[in-house]
Every structure is written in structure tokens, then in C-alpha cells.
A = this chain, B = another copy of it.
Amino acid sequence: MILFGEGVTTSPDHAAAPRRASDMTETSPRIALMLGDCTGIGPELSARVLHGRILGDSARLVVVGDMRVLEQGMRDAKLTFPVKRVTSIGAIDWADEAVPVIDLQNIDPKTLPRAKVSAESGRLTGETLAYAIGLASRGEIDAITFAPLNKAALHAGGWRYPDEHKMFAHLLQHQGYFSEMNVLGNQWMARVTSHVSLREALDLITAHSIEDAIRLSDQTMRRAGIAAPRIAVAALNPHGGEGGLFGREEIDIIKPAIDHAVADGLSVDGPFGADTMFQMPGFDAFVVMLHDQGHVAAKLLAEHAAAALAIGTPILFSSVAHGSAHDIAGKGVADATAMIEAILRMAGARR
């Protein structure tokens, strides 16, 4: 078993200079690519992302996972490209055409059922993620991107976190607020609550958590180059509570949080009924209260194109808004647009 932080034998080497790299490549972030749950479409998406170096000089990618899983992804995607095992990040020649792979040799996909939730796959996928987080927390890589995981498998495999972001925060011993932002083209979206039951979400929605989500969205977008992000905040209840008739959270909690952010100079407006908000022009970002408020809209607006970025954690993570898609696993039809977009956005925010 690979434990968090174990398995890297060389010392961190931030200054390891690539021999033949261009100036641009030298400054681009080093990103660990984790192949996702191998029972789903993760390995196939990863192969599509890595094939032909389509990210160009935007990022330096290193696969962290099992070579056999990557090879399965190539077969699924019907793509081949040169790969090269490396034993440490410091040993990577970033100018080499071959994709560097830190081969953990921990997951043999032949022993795991395809397109089924597998506790064993979840356990090993979690181990791989923890290993990548160890690399990042020691400064050997700058960020992590991961192909779709399977939450139920992770949970069954002993990684009992409601979602991967809570898992990362725990492994990073991060105590502050953190969340996820989705990006659809020029439209950003953040959620005050996410992977919790609706009953629990109602208890988590406070003026404090709303303000945290607004401020962190604003900061993240400024880092990504949007000078003065204009943020719309959703209501919780139907029709924004209809003036208190259908709930008072808008009056008692959401509006005060918005007013507080506005008083500090942020460009924030709302609360708006979630069903009318997404048609409103003039906003760069939407902050919603509940997972489905945002995701019903996001998936209709761009089914496969929602990139997902972790916000608030000290290490940047990117992923996609969709799951391991067992229904199309192994069929060679998975769409990597969102994962590519996510990596490019994260690389942009990192610069």
C-alpha cells in the first residue's frame, strides 16, 4: 500500500532545469495528471489529453498512476503516444517528447470489473490521489489535475469523504474555507454547498459561508485575469422567497452577506431566483446555494464542457464536472473537452 507522501525517493528539486525546453515551457506549471477511476472513462480521457501534446507549452504534465491503466486509456481512445517511466519529478526531462509517468504499479485494471462501482478500485484510486497530493505538498509539482473519480467507489474503498475536495483539504490539513468553481467559457460558477444532502445543505448555508464563497470567487477570478468580476448570487427558495412568503433565508442571510461584500468594494448583486438568474446578462460569475441549482444549468449550457477548479486550498486542483460515466466506459466516445479546458484554466490561474 502506498501511503500519503511515501514513494518519492529523490529530494524535491524546484530548480531542475529542462535541458532543451523553451523559455515558455520552463515557466509553465508542473501538473500531475491522475488517471481517474479505471472502471470508468478516466483513463480514456487522460489519453486524449496527453495525445499529441495538445496543451502545447501551457503546462508540463506528468502522469501519476499505473502504466497499465494509462495503456488501457490509450486502447479505449484508440490513440498511441510515447511514454517514459520516471522515478521522480526531478528526474524528468521536460523537453522529451515522451510523456513522463511515475508508475506506481498499484492498479492492475485487468483485475477490476469494467463499468462497475468497485471498492478495490476506489481504494487504489484514493491511494494514487494521496500520493499526488504528497508530491504537491512538498513542492515537487505545482498543481494536480484528475480524470473522473467515482465517489461511491472511493467511499466503499475507505476514503470516506463526501467529495474529493474534502478529501484533499483533509490530506493537506487545510482548515479554511474551500470549494469548487466551474468554468463554462467566460461564465464562472461557485457553490456555497455541494456534495451534501439537501437537509444538510440547509444548515450549511450561513451569511458566513455565502460571503466566503463570494470572496473566494472574486479572488480566483482576479488571479485568472478578470480585473473586476461581476458576481450574481442566487436565492435559496423558489422565486427568491417571494418577499418572505416561501422562506426567509434571502432576507435574513443572503442579502446581508451580499451587502457586506458590496461594502468592501466587490461587485455583487442578488439574491436572484435561480430559475431566472442564468439568463441575466452582465455577470462574470454566478454563486449558487445548492449543487443542483448550478449543475442543472451548467449541464444544459454545455454538457461536456464544464471545467472544475478547487478554490481556497493551498494547492490548485482541476477536474471536470461530470463523473466516471460507466455507461460509456470502454466505448471510445468520451469527450475530453472539459478536462482540457480545466487544465488550461488552472494553468492560467497559476501564472
Question: Please, which residues of chain B bring their CB within 8 A of the CB of A117?
Answer: 243
Within A222-274, the residues touching B (CB, 8 Å) are 236-239, 241-243, 245-249, 273-274
For A114, the chain B residues whose CB sits under 8 A away are none
Q: Does A275 contact B (CB under 8 A)?
A: yes
Which B residues are in CB contact (< 8 Å) with A248?
Answer: 197
Determine, out of A18-26, A289-297, A330-338, the stretch whose residues face the partner at the interface. A289-297
Separation of A335 and B242 alpha carbons in the complex (Å): 23
Of the candidates B241, B292, B303, the one whose C-beta lies within 8 Å of that of A293 is B292
Beta-carbon contact of B198 and A198 below 8 Å:
yes
Chain B residues lying within 8 Å of A291, measured Cβ to Cβ, are 238-239, 275
**Least CB separation from A246: chain B residue:** B197
The answer on a CB contact under 8 Å between A198 and B242 is no
Q: How many residues of A contact B (CB 8 A)?
A: 44
Does A348 sit at the interface, judged by CB under 8 A?
no
Q: Is the CB of B292 within 8 A of A279?
A: no
Pairwise interchain contact A239-B299, C-beta atoms closer than 8 A: no
Q: Does A283 contact B (CB under 8 A)?
A: no
- What is the minimal beta-carbon distance from A189 to any residue of chain B, in angstroms? 12
Known contacts A300-B297, A300-B300; is-contact A246 B196 (Cβ 8 Å) = yes
Q: Is A276 an interface residue (CB 8 A)?
A: yes
Whether, in the assembled complex, A194 has its beta carbon less than 8 Å from a beta carbon of chain B, the answer is: yes
Which among A117, A195, A296, A303 has the greatest number of chain B C-beta atoms within 10 A?
A296
Question: Which of chain A's residues 180-208 have a Cβ closer than 8 Å to chain B?
Answer: 194-200, 202
Expressed in whole angstroms, the Cα–Cα distance for A202 and B245 within the complex equals: 16
A292 touches B198 (CB 8 A): no
CA distance A155 to B238 in the complex (A): 16
- Contact A279 B293, CB 8 Å, known A194-B238, A239-B195: no
Binding site for B on A (CB under 8 A): 117, 151-152, 155, 162, 194-200, 202, 236-239, 241-243, 245-249, 273-276, 278-279, 290-293, 295-301, 303, 323
Told that A197-B241, A278-B300 touch, could you supply 13 new A-B pairs with CB distance under 8 A?
A151-B239, A151-B242, A152-B242, A195-B238, A195-B242, A196-B247, A197-B246, A198-B238, A238-B292, A274-B292, A278-B299, A279-B299, A292-B296
9 smallest CB-CB distances across A and B, nearest first, come from A197-B247, A275-B295, A238-B291, A296-B296, A152-B243, A274-B292, A197-B246, A300-B300, A275-B296
* 20 A-B contacts (beta carbon < 8 Å): A151-B245, A152-B245, A155-B245, A195-B239, A195-B246, A197-B241, A197-B249, A198-B198, A198-B247, A198-B249, A200-B246, A238-B291, A239-B323, A274-B292, A275-B296, A275-B298, A279-B299, A292-B292, A297-B300, A300-B300
